[in-house]
Structure 1
Amino acid sequence: MAKRSETPIEERDYSTIYFVCSALLALTTFWAVLDMIWVRSPWQRTQVQFNKMEREQLVAKREELIAQMDQNGYAELEKNLAAAQAELQSETYQKALADSAQVAHEIADAVQAYRFAKSEADAEYYLFKEAQYHNDTDAYQQHGQKYRADSTKAVEWKAKWDDAEKRKLEIQTSLNGYRQKITETRAQMAAMTKEIDDLSFRIDRINERSIKIQQVVMTEFVKGNFQNFINNVDRCHTCHTAVSRKGFENLEQPFTTHPSLDTLLKIHPVERFGCTPCHDGQGSALQNAAFAHGEVKHWERPLLRGRFAYSGCNKCHANEL
């Protein structure tokens, strides 16, 4: 067998080398993707877990309210609504609708006739006064008679108009009586389902909620090693998603509500101050809890725990302590 060095370059077999290189490239690519979406991103799973817990909590509460709603007479309201809607098909209601349409036509005819008669009366009055000014006796008498006749017609049509308006009001009152039952019943049903609808809305928002890093940047907040002020980046509530929300007091970390939500967080909102100014830790780290809590080599300010949890206040409030 000829030595490889004796084989012309264009005839040499590189398939093994290409295969090994391709396999290494595929493995490193797979490792890089896995490292990015899994190893370095536990916070994504934390948010998914919290969303699941919150969704289950809201669904359970909604089911409880639905059960209570049945006991509070919601089914009876549904029957009342169906009965009120059925009345809209009754002969009395349909006759009132027809009368309403008829009286609307009568009003339109009366209004038009009144306006024509009034316009003709105004025109005759002008001619009547003009004849009076010019001492034209014949024209004066002629236009005076027409003016009085047109004025009488206008008064008659105005009376018909007013009468039709009264009948319209009576019919509308009758129709509104039927509709009011439906409106009131629907309002009672809406009041009974309001909290359920709110919970359904919140559940839908959870389903649409994006998984993302929550970050607070405090400009020139801390001093660096060279006595210069540098920015402080805090991402703690990426995992502590419910820290500033009520309703999660009984959950374990990192899903629980802050115990001083109504006092300390009221004047130090997480969205503005983050967490590390008070509790220390490595606020920008997301790779795992140990990194985020600063419990790693060379990090000088690990998370304050136990009776020291609130000992960071003197950073800003040294004069008050």
Structure 2
Amino acid sequence: MSTSKNQNLMKKEEDKSYLIMYVIVSFLLVAVTAWAILNETVDRRPWKNYQKRFYRLEYEKIKQNYEKERANFESPDVQKKYEAAKNKLEHAWEDFKKPPIQNEYKKLSEEQKVLNRELDTLRFKAIVTRNESMEKEYLYGKNPSEHIKHEIEGLEEKGKEFASKIKDLEGKIAPIKARLNDLKHGIDKYTEELDAYPAGMERYTAQLKTFRKTRPNLQVYQTYMEDLNIADRCMSCHVGINSAESVSTEQPYTSHPDQKLYLGNHPPERFGCVLCHEGQASATSGVKKAHGEVEYWLTPINRGKAAQGSCIRCHLEGKEVKGGEVLWEGKRLFEELGCHGCHETVGFGEDKNRMIGPSLKNIKNKVRAEWITAWIKDPKGFRPTTLMPNFRLSDEESQAIAAYLWQHADERSIYEQMPAFDEEQLAQGNFIFEQVGCMACHAYEKEAVRKFAPNLSRISEKINYGYLVEWITNPKGKEPLTRMPNFRLSREKASLVAGYLTSKTSKGISKEGSIDAGWLEDKERARVGEGLIKRYGCFGCHEIKGMEGLGKIGTELSAIGSKHVHLFDFGLLEKKILGEAGLKHFTENIGKARQAWLRAKLHNPRQFDEGKYKKPEDRLKMPDFGLKEEEIESLVVMLSGLREEKLPEAYIASLTEKERSIVEGRRLIGKYNCTGCHQLDLDRLYLAENIEAVGMIKLEEDAGVYFQLWEDNEKLGHKAGET
């Protein structure tokens, strides 16, 4: 019974149909296979579509250029000129084919052939003689002997003889060549002129034929930089990056801007794209992946001016490079603002003969007691063009710092009061001030832009008259590291200049000592001031007695461009700062997030304390430099280029001794502002009739403007040195 039951069950299973299931599974298998093939050949290889479109655009561009050239060639004006050139060539041929000219031409041609054969033989013998001479010189160097010496002398004589014969032959051939050319009646010239008209059209015709004949292959283009172990495949999408002409303004079909400057000095086959623009150069399966704009990728793409930050990784020796203007402006600002006074940064602050700010050891002699607190609290309130930042100090803090500086300065030794100057003496002071060239470095108007040295419009509110006289007489006697030169003025002349400077703004200023400044001698206040000076690192820029050996208070910035973003303190503003950069989380684009933090820090250094309770000593202390947007961008680009990873020597731009000397010379010229008085670059005047004059402009007060030529100018009919 059970056996028959089992047999019935087996029969039922055998009668079951799995057709629908097999159809579904087969369909799924086919679909998955098709998806896998599509994903592998299309989705994961977007560069193929970019290359196809690029070659299509390139073909269309050539076709457009051909049509343009054809239209130009077929225009009435060009056709008229073409026919004229054609007629000239035909007439020239007719003249050339005349029997007398043909006979003379053939005769001279034969003579030229004979002479050329003789010349070739002599040149060959001269080369053989020179080689033998070099061989003998080598043997003589290894084993000197009189025999070899005589052989060398004989060969040299032989060589001179050949040279003389060659010169004679060339002298005979030259007039024959000239006569042959005359006999042709300009055939070569007219042929060249005629061929030039359809040349552009023919060039594009040849390109179109080549394009149709040999279809470009779709392939991955790769530059492998062995020293860095990087496979750069950017050109697989940016196929036309080093093309002479862009086929489209759309990316990735454009060619690189300023090719001669960038690609000429950094050929892609050696540098790739990644050294300047970064990104994930080996990725080819998607645009975002290739650009490194994916989570946790440490070096996402640098676009536009941001790519200039990479220049500093190769160009280490201070030579300013064309095309890196934003970066070099950032470097200049970093040095000029004295950022390295607080932040240790390799390559900055290496001039040990220069302090960022003036020494404060002699402050009692130098400044008026009633001025010092207002300056410490708000430097730009007194002088808008000053480089000193605002530390956002309270009145009490400013007074405490002033008290410490006052009590730790050298005792006052200059008590000279300003005498009463009459109008004639003030005019003399004004004349001396302008004559010696003070205005080359100093501005003297309240609204003037920042110049090389401090603005002197409110100098009388700040400085003691007696100190100013001694300073003008001998600046280095007061401050050995100052860059101001000694103008070798007598004390009488120095007092006239000091009187002129202080008289201009002395109206309404209280007499020195009339305001009670006894608080400057308060010991407890000075003790508080000492702590504030150590906290804010004033000794990083200024020489302060008792603080000469203290170190820098800020974070080292030598590798800020490689610093991990999670180590930056965004405070409670992470969402706001990243949102302004188009990010939700810093991992989306680490480079953009780092730059967003740097930008925010430079714009408002202490904003990250907002909404947080902190003890006073734990609060952020970086001062506000009042930077403009373009200055912030320059600094962000420069700081982003300071990396921990060092490139191999093969990629570092090394300077010759001459170039190194030029860099150092330019640094010294900038340090001492030589260009304030001297013109170091040539001017160019563009005159009518396409005349360009190179030289130097000399200004004469009464006679007008004179331009001194630096080189001969035939069009003007003047020689170098003439005006």
Q: TM-score range by the shorter chain?
A: 0.5 to 0.7
Cα deviation code 1:111-154 (max 9, x no counterpart): xxxxxxxxxxxxxxxxxxxxxxxxxxxxxxxxxxxxxxxxxxxx
Q: 5 Å matches for 1:18-29?
A: 18-29=22-33
2:199 to 181, 194, 199: 194
CA–CA separation in structure 2 for the residues paired with 1:23 and 1:60: 48
Q: Does 1:67 align with 2:71?
A: yes
Q: Does 1:219 align with 2:226?
A: yes
CA–CA separation in structure 1 for the residues paired with 2:295 and 2:9: 53
Q: Does 1:210 align with 2:217?
A: yes
AA in 2 matched with 1:201: A
Aligned residue in 2 for 1:297:
295
Aligned residue in 2 for 1:133:
none
CA apart distance, 1:298 = 2.3
CA apart distance, 1:188 = 6.6
5-14 vs 251-260, which deviates more?
A: 5-14
Secondary structure of the structure 1 residue equivalent to 2:67: helix
CA apart distance, 1:23 = 0.8
Secondary structure of the structure 1 residue equivalent to 2:226: strand
Q: Does 1:31 align with 2:35?
A: yes
CA–CA separation in structure 2 for the residues paired with 1:4 and 1:293: 67
CA apart distance, 1:315 = 3.3
CA–CA separation in structure 2 for the residues paired with 1:26 and 1:287: 24
Aligned residue in 1 for 2:117:
none
CA apart distance, 1:286 = 1.7
Secondary structure of the structure 2 residue equivalent to 1:233: strand
AA in 2 matched with 1:193: P
26-35 vs 300-309, which deviates more?
A: 300-309
195-204 vs 277-286, which deviates more?
A: 195-204
CA–CA separation in structure 2 for the residues paired with 1:187 and 1:201: 19
Q: 5 Å matches for 1:1-321?
A: 6-7=10-11, 12-71=16-75, 72-73=78-79, 190-207=195-212, 208-221=215-228, 231-248=229-246, 251-320=249-318
Closer, same or farther: CA 186–37 of 1 in aligned 2, 3 Å: farther
CA apart distance, 1:216 = 0.7
Aligned residue in 1 for 2:598:
none
Query: Larger radius of gyration, structure 1 or 2?
Result: 1
State the percentage of identical aligned residues.
Answer: 29
CA–CA separation in structure 2 for the residues paired with 1:4 and 1:239: 67
CA RMSD of aligned residues (A): 3.8
CA apart distance, 1:281 = 0.2
CA–CA separation in structure 1 for the residues paired with 2:270 and 2:199: 33
CA–CA separation in structure 1 for the residues paired with 2:9 and 2:42: 47
Q: Report if the CA contact (8 A) 1:278-1:310 is conserved.
A: yes
Cα deviation code 1:50-83 (max 9, x no counterpart): 2222222221121111122123228976xx89xx
Closer, same or farther: CA 215–4 of 1 in aligned 2, 3 Å: farther
AA in 2 matched with 1:301: T
Closer, same or farther: CA 195–307 of 1 in aligned 2, 3 Å: closer
CA–CA separation in structure 1 for the residues paired with 2:279 and 2:11: 63
Secondary structure of the structure 1 residue equivalent to 2:225: strand
Closer, same or farther: CA 24–184 of 1 in aligned 2, 3 Å: same
Closer, same or farther: CA 318–4 of 1 in aligned 2, 3 Å: farther
Cα deviation code 1:235-264 (max 9, x no counterpart): 111111222122229723222222231122
Instruction: Give the structure with the larger helix fraction.
Output: 1
AA in 2 matched with 1:258: H
Closer, same or farther: CA 281–205 of 1 in aligned 2, 3 Å: farther
CA–CA separation in structure 1 for the residues paired with 2:225 and 2:15: 64
Q: Report if the CA contact (8 A) 1:236-1:284 is conserved.
A: yes
Q: Report if the CA contact (8 A) 2:277-2:302 is conserved.
A: yes
CA apart distance, 1:278 = 1.2
CA–CA separation in structure 2 for the residues paired with 1:215 and 1:51: 18
CA–CA separation in structure 2 for the residues paired with 1:3 and 1:297: 63
Cα deviation code 1:215-235 (max 9, x no counterpart): 1111131xxxxxxxxx10111
Q: Report if the CA contact (8 A) 2:82-2:194 is conserved.
A: no
Secondary structure of the structure 2 residue equivalent to 1:262: helix
Q: Report if the CA contact (8 A) 2:82-2:197 is conserved.
A: no
CA–CA separation in structure 1 for the residues paired with 2:261 and 2:191: 41
CA apart distance, 1:276 = 0.6
AA in 1 matched with 2:27: A
TM-score between both structures, scaled by the size of structure 1: 0.57
183-192 vs 279-288, which deviates more?
A: 183-192
Q: Report if the CA contact (8 A) 1:235-1:285 is conserved.
A: yes
Q: Report if the CA contact (8 A) 2:281-2:290 is conserved.
A: yes
CA–CA separation in structure 2 for the residues paired with 1:191 and 1:305: 42
CA–CA separation in structure 2 for the residues paired with 1:309 and 1:4: 80
AA in 1 matched with 2:61: Q
CA apart distance, 1:4 = 9.7
Q: Report if the CA contact (8 A) 1:282-1:294 is conserved.
A: yes
Secondary structure of the structure 1 residue equivalent to 2:260: coil
CA apart distance, 1:184 = 10
AA in 2 matched with 1:196: M
Q: Report if the CA contact (8 A) 1:51-1:206 is conserved.
A: no
Closer, same or farther: CA 42–204 of 1 in aligned 2, 3 Å: farther
CA apart distance, 1:3 = 11
Secondary structure of the structure 2 residue equivalent to 1:19: helix
TM-score between both structures, scaled by the size of structure 2: 0.27
Q: Report if the CA contact (8 A) 1:249-1:259 is conserved.
A: no
Cα deviation code 1:265-285 (max 9, x no counterpart): 112111222101111101111
CA–CA separation in structure 2 for the residues paired with 1:257 and 1:248: 5
Closer, same or farther: CA 25–185 of 1 in aligned 2, 3 Å: farther
CA apart distance, 1:194 = 2.3
Q: Report if the CA contact (8 A) 1:215-1:238 is conserved.
A: yes
Closer, same or farther: CA 5–272 of 1 in aligned 2, 3 Å: farther
Higher relative contact order (CA 8 A, sep 6+): 1
CA–CA separation in structure 1 for the residues paired with 2:200 and 2:7: 84
Cα deviation code 1:166-221 (max 9, x no counterpart): xxxxxxxxxxxxxxx9x999877644322212112223344421222111111131
What are structure 1's unaligned runs of at least 5 residues?
Answer: 85-180, 222-230
Q: Report if the CA contact (8 A) 1:44-1:211 is conserved.
A: yes
CA–CA separation in structure 2 for the residues paired with 1:3 and 1:201: 83
Closer, same or farther: CA 249–33 of 1 in aligned 2, 3 Å: closer
